[in-house]
């Protein structure tokens, strides 16, 4: 005949059996959820594990009791603001109007003086028992040990992948050994990749390299390797087979802009994105991305986020990255001086020139994008010729000169050259990327 507690979901577990269940849960694939289930079975209560930010990691309740909805961690901790020094359980009283309609046992997940989360036991569906504190404490300590172990394993794998990324960029090491190590880590070492070089500032958050790599991987659903370079972070983003390089680079650049805003809101983050290269040409990708960042550094004031791809600057980046800055500034004044006024007419001419180049010198597409008549575009280009002496419509040398000058204005964030915001597509809403034409 069963006891009242057994009928209400409580299992009278001998200590040795409880320990065996905890040991089995610790080696389960979903070990944290398994430990929470053991805690629920042993107490006959609804149990939830929160991380430090208040997100639910795992939650369970006894069979037949119905699903229990936990209040937010903020409501649970309303009178428990001290930083926990240990996992010793605390009994929280119920109080109407506060979100806590029932009592709860609260145990901090603390391991080696580091606070990792909270384990909460709800007084539902049975009243608390004298042993519930003990069960909660044991489960909280086992969860802490598991979280610490997972962190160590993750750190080892992260360091190994970081070292692999560094070797790929340097082009160093025996290729067979590199490929064998990559296979062990689950990395496709033969994939084409684009390289993003991110120069950190004093305002960049700690552990930014890891958070930005994880953000990129989630947003693009692509393999991302990360490592630290001199003065910055390198991300190697794998390219799916047959995906066109400009399409992928554009998507990576827009993702970098979103990541900069969300992960480093204080600003000051600069990034350059290379074209897509084969694994044996990543040294070139690194050089490209560094040149883009150098151009940004030389011609911007260092405030706000600036993210550009190599396609945004083209071959002129070599001149901008390595030329003498004062000479380049004089060159800009010589080329576009008459168009650099603050009046609306000058801004209109600069904007028309920029769009004309972005639309591959097509009058029709430029007119469509600017929402004006084609003859208006032609008149504006003629006006540029009259003011500067540069025939932008037919002289290739003049076209190159004006295009290079416009790049510097873009780097200097000239108001007429603010690009339309790139829309960031994640794996949930992304459309298929255009693919390169395959040979028959």
pLDDT tens-digit map of 358-367: 888 899 999 9
Strand order in the sheet with 270-277: 224-229, 232-238, 193-199, 270-277, 306-309
DSSP state, residue 280: G
Distances (CA, A) of 405 to 317, 333, 369, 378, 401: 11, 9, 22, 20, 6
More confident residue, 218 or 305: 218
Q: Of 221, 181, 161, 283, give the one whose Cα is nearest residue 431.
A: 221
| Cα 2 to Cα 5, 42, 61, 65, distances in angstroms | 8, 16, 20, 17
Residue 119 pLDDT greater than 90, yes or no? yes
Q: Is the pLDDT of residue 135 over 60?
A: yes
Q: What span, in angstroms and rounded, lies between the C-alpha atoms of 267 and 70? A: 37
Beta-bridge partner residues of 145: none
Q: Which two three-digit tokens encode residue 433?
A: 């990327």
With CA atoms as reference, report the closest residue to 105 among 33, 39, 192. Answer: 39
What does the DSSP assignment read for 137-199? HHHHHHHHHHHHHHHHHHHHHHHHHHHHHHHHHHT-S-HHHHHHHHHHHT--TTS-EEEEEEE
Number of alpha carbons in the 13 Å side-chain half-sphere of residue 388: 28
The pLDDT tens digits for 318-352 are 888 888 888 888 888 888 888 888 788 888 898 99
Give the tens place of pLDDT for each residue, 144-187.
Answer: 988 888 778 777 777 888 888 888 888 766 677 777 777 777 88
Using a pLDDT cut of 70, give the percent of the chain over it: 84
Predicted confidence (pLDDT) at residue 376 exceeds the cutoff of 90: yes
Report whether 194 contacts 253 (CB < 8 A): no
- pLDDT at residue 9 above 80? no
pLDDT digits (tens, 9 = 90+) for 193-228: 999 998 877 666 777 888 888 888 888 888 889 888
Which residues on neighbouring strands pair with residue 414, listed in sequence order? none
Q: Which fold has domain 4-153?
A: Beta-Lactamase (3.30.450)
Going 9 to 14 to 19 to 25, the CA torsion angle's sign is: negative
**Average per-residue pLDDT in the chain?**
81
Helix (H) or strand (E) holding 378: helix 374-388
Pair of tokens at residue 379: 């008149």
Encoded tokens for 112:
């080696």
pLDDT of residue 375: 93
Does the structure show a pLDDT above 90 at 399? no
Task: Tell me the whole-structure pTM to 2 decimals.
Answer: 0.62
Query: What is the share, in percent, of the chain residues with pLDDT greater than 90?
Result: 17
Mode of pairing for the β-strands spanning 306-309 and 270-277: parallel
pLDDT digits over 238-294, tens only?
988 877 778 888 888 888 888 878 877 666 678 899 999 998 899 999 999 999 988
Distance of CA 341 to the CA centre of its chain: 39
pLDDT, position 25: 86
Other beta carbons within 10 angstroms of residue 431's beta carbon come to 6
Confidence check: pLDDT of 124 > 50: yes
Residue 32 pLDDT exceeds 60? yes
Helix (H) or strand (E) holding 67: none
Name the fold adopted by 324-424.
Arc Repressor Mutant, subunit A (1.10.10)
**Which neighbouring-strand residues pair with 173?**
none
Question: Using the 8-state DSSP alphabet, how is residue 437 labeled?
Answer: P
CA dihedral over 31, 36, 42, 44, signed as positive or negative? negative
Does residue 424 register a pLDDT over 70? Answer: no
Domain ranges within the chain, ordered by starting residue? 4-153, 191-320, 324-424
Query: Which CATH superfamily includes the segment(s) 191-320?
Result: Reverse transcriptase/Diguanylate cyclase domain (3.30.70.270)
**pLDDT for 381:** 92
The alpha carbon of 241 is separated from its chain's Cα centroid by a whole number of angstroms, namely 23
């Amino acid at each position: 005949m069963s006891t009242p507690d057994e009928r209400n979901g409580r299992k009278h577990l001998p200590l040795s059996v409880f320990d065996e269940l905890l040991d089995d849960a610790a080696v389960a694939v979903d070990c944290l959820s398994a430990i929470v289930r053991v805690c629920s079975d042993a107490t006959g209560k609804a149990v939830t594990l929160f991380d430090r930010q208040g997100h639910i990691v795992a939650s369970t309740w006894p069979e037949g009791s119905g699903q229990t909805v936990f209040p937010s961690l903020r409501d649970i901790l309303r009178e428990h603001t001290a930083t926990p020094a240990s996992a010793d359980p605390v009994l929280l009283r119920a109080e109407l109007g506060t979100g806590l309609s029932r009592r709860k046992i609260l145990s901090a997940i603390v391991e080696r003086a580091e606070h990792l989360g909270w384990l909460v036991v709800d007084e539902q569906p049975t009243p608390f028992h004298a042993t519930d504190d003990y069960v909660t404490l044991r489960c909280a300590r086992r969860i802490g040990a598991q979280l610490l172990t997972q962190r160590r394993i993750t750190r080892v794998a992260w360091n190994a992948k970081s070292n692999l990324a560094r070797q790929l960029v340097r082009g160093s090491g025996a290729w067979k050994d590199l490929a064998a190590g990559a296979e062990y880590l689950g990395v496709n070492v033969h994939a084409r990749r684009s390289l993003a070089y991110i120069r950190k500032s004093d305002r960049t958050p700690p552990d930014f390299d890891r958070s930005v790599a994880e953000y990129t991987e989630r947003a693009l659903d692509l393999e991302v390797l990360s490592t630290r370079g001199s003065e910055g972070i390198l991300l190697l983003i794998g390219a799916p087979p047959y995906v066109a390089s400009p399409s992928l680079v554009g998507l990576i650049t827009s993702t970098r802009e979103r990541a900069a805003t969300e992960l480093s809101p204080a600003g000051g983050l600069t990034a350059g994105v290379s074209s897509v290269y084969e694994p044996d040409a990543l040294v070139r990708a690194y050089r490209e991305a560094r040149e883009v960042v150098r151009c940004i550094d030389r011609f911007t004031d260092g405030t706000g986020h600036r993210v550009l791809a190599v396609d945004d600057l083209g071959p002129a980046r070599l001149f901008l990255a390595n030329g003498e800055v004062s000479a380049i500034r004089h060159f800009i004044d010589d080329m576009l001086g008459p168009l650099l006024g603050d009046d609306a007419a000058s801004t209109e001419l600069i904007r028309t020139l920029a769009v004309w180049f972005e639309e591959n010198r097509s009058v029709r597409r430029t007119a469509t994008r600017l929402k004006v008549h084609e003859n208006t575009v032609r008149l504006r280009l003629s006006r540029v010729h009259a003011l500067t002496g540069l025939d932008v419509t037919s002289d290739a040398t003049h076209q190159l000169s004006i295009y290079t000058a416009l790049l510097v204005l873009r780097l200097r964030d000239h108001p007429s050259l603010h690009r339309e915001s790139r829309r960031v597509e994640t794996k949930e809403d992304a459309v298929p990327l255009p693919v390169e034409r395959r040979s028959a």
